[in-house]
Amino acid sequence: MKTTRIKENEINHKWFVIDAENKTLGRMSTTIAKILMGKNKVTYQPDIDNGDGVIIINAKKVRLTGAKFEDKMYYTHSGYIGNLKEKNLNEMMTKHPDKVILLSVKRMLPKNKLGRKMLTRLKVYSAEKHPHESQKPETLKI
């Protein structure tokens, strides 16, 4: 049996809309990461960007379990001594609910150029509306 390789001109990226209302963050993020990488396709190859695009709406209504709102921390560091900043999940959800989902999915993707290219096809919105009607996205139930 011969292994077939997909060519760049044979790749077509479909778009999906996912409503994050009452969805658990981790379970939803793993599904999104698989779609972005293309693992849900028969033509999956780890060295080719074959994945689809994902639009997430209602990011501020995502569900979290346990005491994560107070315990989970997000750290940023500028590189200067003593400049470590930390925010808990409650602060992030009030200021940047879209960034919570974006960081969750980003950390599940490959840590290389290909992973950064995959992340460009993830669009997260905290409200119900999105400006991507021209991509003709399909609604995806998780």
Q: How many angstroms separate the Cα of 106 from the Cα of each of 37, 50, 59, 109, 132?
A: 11, 17, 15, 5, 21
**What's the structural domain count of the chain?**
1
Residue 137 has a pLDDT of 96
Pairwise CA distance, residues 52 & 41, whole Å? 9
Better-scored residue on pLDDT, 8 or 62: 62
Residue 17 lies in a domain: yes
State the CATH number of the domain containing residue 48: 3.90.1180.10
Residue 105 lies in a domain: yes
Question: pLDDT at residue 125 above 80?
Answer: yes
Q: How many angstroms separate the Cα of 125 from the Cα of each of 52, 90, 119, 132?
A: 18, 18, 15, 11
Residue 4 has a pLDDT of 83
Question: pLDDT at residue 142 above 90?
Answer: no
Residue 23 lies in a domain: yes
How far does Cα 34 stand from its chain's mean position?
Answer: 9
Residue 129 lies in a domain: yes
Residue 50 lies in a domain: yes
Question: pLDDT at residue 2 above 90?
Answer: no
Write down the mean pLDDT value for the chain. Answer: 95
Average pLDDT over residues 24-45: 95
Average pLDDT over residues 28-57: 95
Average pLDDT over residues 42-55: 94
Got the DSSP string for 3-23?
A: PP---GGG----EEEEE-TT-
What is the pTM assigned to this prediction? 0.92
Pairwise CA distance, residues 39 & 31, whole Å? 10
Structural domain including 34 reads 13-63+95-137
Q: How confident is the model over 67-88, as pLDDT tens digits?
A: 999 999 999 999 999 999 999 9
> Which pLDDT band, with edges at 50, 70 and 90, does 126 fall under?
very high
Alpha helices in the chain, H assignment, sequence order? 25-37, 68-71, 89-95, 97-106, 113-119
Residue 25 lies in a domain: yes
